[in-house]
Structure 1
Amino acid sequence: MRIIAGTARGRKIFSVSKNLPVKPISDRIKQSVFDIIRPRITGAIMLDLFAGTGNVSLEALSRGALKAVMVDKEPACLKAQRRNLEHLGFEDRGKSLKGDLLAKDLAWLYAYSEGEGYDIIFMGPPYRDINNKPLKFSAPVLEKVAQAKLLADNGIIILQHHKTEEFAVPPSLEIYREEKYGDTLVHFLRNKNDTQQS
């Protein structure tokens, strides 16, 4: 895995053991997503849920995001995130936090957003567990994000999930764009009361 563009372009990203149920975002999907959100990245405060090795956050920081907060519960992922932040020189703009996103409300994450919510929230929950059983984390965590009001005014949520996983959109949010990449769907959501065109 490598950074695609920005100040750290071409630099390596350290990964974790393949025995863990961590599936990094593909370069194809990452490139496409960042092409879509390019105008939003510079100066953005980002929240990366189920962050894994921090691949998406590191790309955002390389492209000019002001800050990225990465959350995962797997110790090996947290170790990789911190190693990558140090390796790329992003320690002052990146934060790696341990958290079980399904266990409690997410209001505690608001404090790390500089008090105005997150401009970009990326959610890439795992599709399957270690026994290859399908997981359905998108709906409950999306609901927790909405309940905690983590999204800034005119902010966006990017949700990557398997095409067979269905989820309900919380009443305060709306989908404004959908992209398909093989078995993966990426939905782009925003607050319903936002007037800014995306």
Structure 2
Amino acid sequence: MRIIAGESRGRALKSVPKEMMVKPISARIKKSVFDILRPRLGGARVLDLYAGTGAVGIEALSRGAASAFFVDADKRCIAVIEENLKRLNLAAKGRACYGDILHDLSWIAYRAGMSDFDLIYMGPPYRTEANKMLAYSTATLARVAEANLLAPGGWALLQRYKKEKVEIPTGYEKFREERYGDTGVEFIRRAAPPA
């Protein structure tokens, strides 16, 4: 897996061991999503949930984001993210933290030193090792909303299995969706207050 564009363009990222059931974002999806995000990345504060190798947050840093905070529930992923940040000389802009994403996320504001992220990327796992479908998207989005992590005007992107039904929390709205085979990416923002 490589960085597509920006100051680290073409540099390889270390991957996690194959037995870890981490499905990194495909190059096709990453390119398409970042083509859409391009005008929003300069100076952005990014939160990468279910970060895996850190590919999304590191791509954002390479393209001009000011900072990225990575969260994953596997300490081996955190070690890989930290190594990738060091290898690409981005450690001063990125921080990785072990944490349970499906429960209260208010701790992120404290650990990250900020509560308003301009871009939040969520890529929860789709399936278990036994190939049973997981449905973490609605719960993850609800935790993000409860912790009030999205800045006014910010975007939250949710990568999910296309057949998974997602409920958008009150006060938020889906304004765009992209499909890539069996994967969907939903673009979500705070809803405008009623007139």
Q: TM-score range by the shorter chain?
A: over 0.9
Q: How many residues align?
A: 194
Q: Where does residue 142 of structure 1 map in the other structure?
A: 141
1:67 matched to 2:86? The reply is no
Retained in 1: the 8 A contact 2:3–2:12? yes
d(CA) in 2 for partners of 1:114, 1:74: 22
Retained in 1: the 8 A contact 2:115–2:148? no
d(CA) in 1 for partners of 2:115, 2:75: 29
SS at match of 1:141: helix
Provide closer, same or farther for how the CA distance between residues 146 and 163 of structure 1 changes in structure 2, counting only shifts above 3 A: same
Tell me, which stretches of 5 or more residues in structure 2 are unaligned?
A: none
1:190 matched to 2:181? The reply is no
Q: Where does residue 79 of structure 1 map in the other structure?
A: 79
TM-score (ref. length: structure 2): 0.96
Give the alignment of 1:77-116 within 5 angstroms: 77-102=77-102, 104-112=103-111, 114-116=113-115
Q: Where does residue 165 of structure 1 map in the other structure?
A: 164
Deviation at 1:113, TM superposition (A): 5.2
Letter matched to residue 117 of structure 2: Y
Letter matched to residue 137 of structure 2: S
State, as a whole percentage, how many aligned pairs show the same letter: 49
| RMSD, aligned CA | 1.3
SS at match of 1:125: coil
Letter matched to residue 48 of structure 1: D
d(CA) in 2 for partners of 1:146, 1:52: 22
Retained in 2: the 8 A contact 1:15–1:53? yes
Retained in 2: the 8 A contact 1:69–1:112? no
Retained in 1: the 8 A contact 2:108–2:115? no
